[in-house]
C-alpha cells in the first residue's frame, strides 16, 4: 500500500473548499498515519450540510484501508509460513542429496571390489 495519496483526487472527492485544501494538501503529502486524524479533526470542526456525508465517506475510507492492511498482514504471515516450510523442505532435500551421493560412492566402491574379486578368481 503506498504511503502517499493523490491529494487532488481526495480533495475533489470530498468537495473541500479552496481555503481548506491547502492545509489538507500539506497533510496529504505526509505519511498516511497522520492524515486520518487530521481529516477527522477537520470534519469534526467543519460545519455544513455535507459534513455527515463527508464523515461517512471518511470512515468508509478508513475502514477500507484498515481491511486492506489486515489482509496484507494476513497474506504476509501466510507467505512467511509457506517460506519457512519451503526452507525446511529445501534443507531436507539437501540432506537427502548428500546421503544419496554418499550411497553412490559406497556403491561404486563395492562394485569396484566385486570386479576385483571376480577378476582375481
Concatenated DSSP letters of 14-60: HT--HHHHHHHHHHHTS-HHHHHHHHHHHHHH--STTHHHHHHHHHH
Task: Please give the grid coordinates belonging to residue 35.
Answer: 492524515
Instruction: Band the pLDDT of 100: cuts 50, 70, 90.
Output: very high
pTM: 0.42
pLDDT of 63 > 90? The answer is no
Please give the grid coordinates belonging to residue 99. 546421503
Query: How many angstroms separate the CA atoms of 48 and 43, rounded?
Result: 10
For residues 21-32, give the mean pLDDT: 55
Per-residue confidence (pLDDT) for residue 47, from 0 to 100: 52
Instruction: For the beta carbon of residue 68, count every other beta carbon within 10 angstroms.
Output: 11
Over residues 70-76, the mean pLDDT reads 87
pLDDT of residue 25: 56
Task: Report helix, strand or coil for 95.
Answer: helix
- Tell me the pLDDT tens digit for each residue of 5-25: 455 555 554 554 444 555 555
Q: Is the pLDDT of residue 48 over 70?
A: no
Amino acid at each position: 500500500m503506498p504511503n502517499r495519496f493523490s491529494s487532488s483526487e481526495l480533495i475533489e472527492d470530498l468537495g473541500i473548499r479552496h481555503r481548506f485544501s491547502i492545509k489538507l494538501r500539506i497533510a496529504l503529502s505526509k505519511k498516511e498515519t497522520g492524515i486520518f486524524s487530521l481529516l477527522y479533526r477537520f470534519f469534526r470542526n467543519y460545519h455544513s450540510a455535507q459534513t455527515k456525508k463527508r464523515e461517512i465517506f471518511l470512515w468508509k475510507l478508513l475502514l477500507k484501508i484498515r481491511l486492506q492492511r489486515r489482509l496484507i498482514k494476513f497474506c504476509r504471515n501466510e507467505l512467511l509460513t509457506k517460506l519457512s516450510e519451503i526452507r525446511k523442505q529445501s534443507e531436507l532435500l539437501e540432506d537427502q542429496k548428500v546421503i544419496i551421493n554418499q550411497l553412490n560412492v559406497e556403491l561404486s566402491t563395492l562394485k569396484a571390489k566385486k570386479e576385483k574379486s571376480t577378476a582375481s578368481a
